Homo-oligomer: A and B are copies of this chain.
């Protein structure tokens, strides 16, 4: 089935393999008249670019984006925006072994089971490079949402056992620390932990948190198109995400109803909540408070220690993965989480414009 399209109004379709000619995304349904240039998108792609520090793969890719359609005179036209990033650093020879073997923790086996064969070069479509399309589209979604006063703060909450502390929180650090942690002390501990993982030829995971402010109340639709349900899908659709939380998340079962309920009050004419255990939604619809969600990311499955597995014929073999791999993907996945959250929120925001008869009448009678 066609699994590479996401969204109802603001709809994106991504394509491309790790070692193919190029990767890209088509964004359809973007409102006309948004200022947009390649730099707007490049900034986002640079946040996920490999080779930026010693904890990401030394593979160097410029990942330069080109806008092929949908923008005219510096503005979106309302027609599909096609974005393309060429693959310039593909070294297919590194991956010859995985042509026949199933790497533990990877999608090699399941792709073969589903399709009968696979593009094994660098993981093909299941490679993390697939996220280039998500991030390029996410850049546009974030830009549009920013114009409405909706802002994102997305960061690494923990790497392995090392977690940030709320009192050290300094959002300006997110783009400065190699871990994308907004806490210098935690970052330093995390760096030490990562070094120990690399020395052990092992890998680790972590938690990414995304906070979104300025969201109007009313986004999301009852029952199956709840905002939090779609955010859950958005984040879990990112490779390696094994858990999703909103608000208190898994901690919710440690609280009583009297502790978890958020009281409403009148803040100078505006109805607000005194607390935000819910994480910004009630009944799946945004409540006007900050959206808070978290994605739990598994350790990079590509490790350099020997592993037991089987080949396509079912022979048991020992595999030694070579190539260029991050010991932790969390820092590079921060912008992917932000992109998926933004795409989901923007689609809900556009869909919400038709919820009231009054809005429809106002739109067409003015």
- Do the beta carbons of A110 and B217 come within 8 Å of each other? yes
Among A6-14, A44-52, A57-65, the stretch in contact with B:
A6-14
- Do the beta carbons of B5 and A69 come within 8 Å of each other? no
Q: Which residues of B contact A20 (CB under 8 A)?
A: 68-69
Among A164-172, A178-186, A295-303, the stretch in contact with B:
A295-303
Q: Find A224's partner among B6, B109, B144, B349 (CB 8 Å cutoff).
A: B6
A interface, over-half SS:
mixed
**Residues 109-125 of A at the B interface (beta carbon under 8 Å):** 109-111, 113-119, 121, 124-125
Q: Which residues of B contact A305 (CB under 8 A)?
A: 258
Most buried by B among A160, A233, A245, A288: A233
- Copies of this protein in the assembly total 4
Interface residue tally for chain A (C-beta within 8 Å): 169
A94 in the interface, Cβ–Cβ < 8 Å? Answer: no
Min CB gap A156→B, angstroms = 11
Q: Which residues of B contact A254 (CB under 8 A)?
A: 160-161
Q: Which residues of B contact A358 (CB under 8 A)?
A: 33, 116
Q: Which residues of B contact A281 (CB under 8 A)?
A: 110
**Residues 1-42 of A at the B interface (beta carbon under 8 Å):** 1-11, 13-17, 20-24, 26, 28-29, 31-34
A245 (CB) vs chain B CBs: closest residue: B243
Binary interface profile of A, 94-136, with partner B (CB < 8 Å = 1, else 0)?
Answer: 0000000010111101110111111101001110001000000
Q: Which residues of B contact A364 (CB under 8 A)?
A: 148, 216, 349
Q: Find A230's partner among B11, B220, B228, B233 (CB 8 Å cutoff).
A: B233
Q: Find A17's partner among B6, B69, B234, B310 (CB 8 Å cutoff).
A: B69
